[in-house]
Structure 1
């Protein structure tokens, strides 16, 4: 057993929290936490921070976790950031085409890797990029990377601060398609999670006002408005906006299957599934089946999205206990390193058996 793993076990026991309860509180599997505490798996910053949040002030006052997170984070994430940033800087910032290729790479990585891994890589590149922002196209690169970075954070307020910065960078790009995409994608991220809805609507409306040309950014803005209406309980408005988005998808949908910058068929079905599940609409089942049928098999995180939507449908039908059990089991099958903030918020929505709190 490693010293850090043993400290986590001691802190958990001191707080009177079982391993099963800790798994439920942190959204890591019981088996994963058991392996971490026993030293069979490495202690990562996200696990330590999860323990600190879950166990609260009681253990902090006793000094059981004091300084641990700082030590673990500093020795991994921060050190990796500094090393990667300096390595990239020493080799030069690279031409615009090189950065555009990196944007495309991040669009694909977003679909397959976990938030922590993606955040560290993005942070290193952003450290370098900020030293080379000498043209409008590079501001466009920065805007898209900042939007993706915001989606890796575990806090909605923090995410919004990155989205705001991304919109400023997008405006510097002088590219309306970038300006629309950044605002639409940020709005959809918030609305899909049921978080900061006033901000989501504001950003979506800005996107729709900038340019009426059909595009993935305009499509995401329409879906964001539809999701926000669903959370507010506006069934008529949500379905009308979803129909508007379907018509936009017919024009702006993509054949690219595994990029965050594209909206292929399976992804639109996933967005529609979430909205209809929130409304408790039986039509959600058809969208879920279509998403499963058309989605590339390697996109495990998005398969879990659909499973959580099914759990939400059970909860909306009145079986909150069954829906919660179904959703927790689905999330538990997904490796911890592939989970996202969206999944955690969806699980919370299922557990409540109602719409998320409107903010």
Structure 2
């Protein structure tokens, strides 16, 4: 069990104590971490704050088993914001330039204020005996597959617009058929659109919207008889906290998701999040146990119904291998991480641009942390180029870390060439 760091001793004091106990000078530690002696001295004295990258490297150099990383993470951890209450009426406005404004209102507010002065279209009455819902469901299922493919290569905002419309259209189609089998099937399908909207919102960097849409997906799935999506909602929240370096919240959410879900594949992905949380905390043995459990569950999941939540990318050949590479980096083994991630990336199709960018950024970061700067820049270059189309907040998370490392090597030609385009990729695109 990983213990929380004691708050009474500063990071710098603990770093100095462990360095001296290991018999290392500042020069020795600087050589092992690729940070300058002067920077380390300022961190130990409290004149500079330690980054998560420095903490991980010091953990590895001093065999601290994550104790230093936990101090940095605990200081920076933030709680996930509450989400909005469910609403009855959804509205979306699209401007000519492609911008989108989405709003959700309770029905009374929408009728008394929002609807004033707005043009409105009303769906015609339908005969309940026509079976129109059952007729259109195959087309919507095909759309969902198309949206998932499009989501690999276009800005999330575009997918969000289409997915919101599809979700709302399904809600409208089933509004007059309570209790019918077609209604349950349509609700479950609408929940998949809403869940994918939540994933795209996360990619866009809007955590509040991601949580809101995921909660709406859970409500619709439950109404349609699917209780497993509630467990997956915890997994989505674990994703959000993971990208805030909050290993405590990620660990709790991942374990809760595994306890609640009856689907092996949901538990498999939750075990991966648990492994990543343990890796952030520096607990290598616990992380590896979770990865082994995930591999076992993945093997069991092949017999399950494929009509379920969108668990990340469907293009990954071996999600456990990707998670292993991810964890090895956080555990302070960047060369081992780079070896695994590089092998897995070669197996991804060229069309899986978002997935390739996500794990390519982590591979570049691993190379940079290992001191292989030219290789890091070579791997990062196509990722940075693709960011103009993808605008991914999760990719940007690793690119920010990469930028901080590369600034220490700014005199190298490869770094000087990459930095201008990397800086542009780190700018958040607003729509």
Q: CA separation in 2, counterparts of 1:88 and 1:275?
A: 51
The answer as to whether partners of 1:108 and 1:260 remain within 8 angstroms in 2 is no
User: CA 1:291/1:128 → structure 2, altered by over 3 Å: closer, same or farther?
Assistant: same
Aligned to 2:273: 224
User: CA 1:213/1:328 → structure 2, altered by over 3 Å: closer, same or farther?
Assistant: closer
Q: CA separation in 1, counterparts of 2:404 and 2:229?
A: 36
The answer as to whether partners of 1:253 and 1:263 remain within 8 angstroms in 2 is no
Q: CA separation in 2, counterparts of 1:78 and 1:238?
A: 42
Query: Which of 186, 195, 210 is the matching residue for 1:147?
Result: 195
The answer as to whether partners of 2:238 and 2:249 remain within 8 angstroms in 1 is no
Per-residue deviation, residues 68-123 of structure 1 (Å, max 9, x unmatched): xxxx96324467999xxx99967998434443343333333333433122111112
Query: Which of 177, 196, 210 is the matching residue for 2:260?
Result: 210
Query: Which of 95, 99, 109 is the matching residue for 1:74?
Result: 95
Q: CA separation in 2, counterparts of 1:152 and 1:88?
A: 29
Query: Which of 167, 186, 197 is the matching residue for 1:138?
Result: 186
Higher fraction of helix: 1
Q: List alignment gaps of at least 5 residues for structure 1.
A: 1-71, 354-359
C-alpha displacement at 1:248, in angstroms? 1.7
CA RMSD between the two structures: 3.9
Per-residue deviation, residues 292-340 of structure 1 (Å, max 9, x unmatched): 2321122223222233112221343368x87985675343221512231
Q: CA separation in 1, counterparts of 2:313 and 2:377?
A: 33
Report whether the alignment pairs 1:339 with 2:391: yes
C-alpha displacement at 1:240, in angstroms? 1.8
Question: How many residues get paired?
Answer: 275
Q: List alignment gaps of at least 5 residues for structure 2.
A: 1-92, 104-119, 127-131, 406-431
Per-residue deviation, residues 175-229 of structure 1 (Å, max 9, x unmatched): 2444444543x14643663466565445433431223442x22221111222222
Aligned to 1:24: none
Bigger shift: residues 227-236 or 96-105:
96-105
Q: CA separation in 2, counterparts of 1:97 and 1:198?
A: 42
Aligned to 2:299: 250
The answer as to whether partners of 1:280 and 1:313 remain within 8 angstroms in 2 is no
TM-score, normalised with respect to structure 1: 0.62
Aligned to 1:317: 370
Bigger shift: residues 140-149 or 124-133:
124-133
Structure label with greater radius of gyration: 2
Q: CA separation in 1, counterparts of 2:386 and 2:122?
A: 33
C-alpha displacement at 1:250, in angstroms? 2.5
TM-score, normalised with respect to structure 2: 0.53
The answer as to whether partners of 2:313 and 2:355 remain within 8 angstroms in 1 is no
The answer as to whether partners of 2:325 and 2:338 remain within 8 angstroms in 1 is yes
User: CA 1:241/1:90 → structure 2, altered by over 3 Å: closer, same or farther?
Assistant: farther
Q: CA separation in 2, counterparts of 1:160 and 1:198?
A: 19
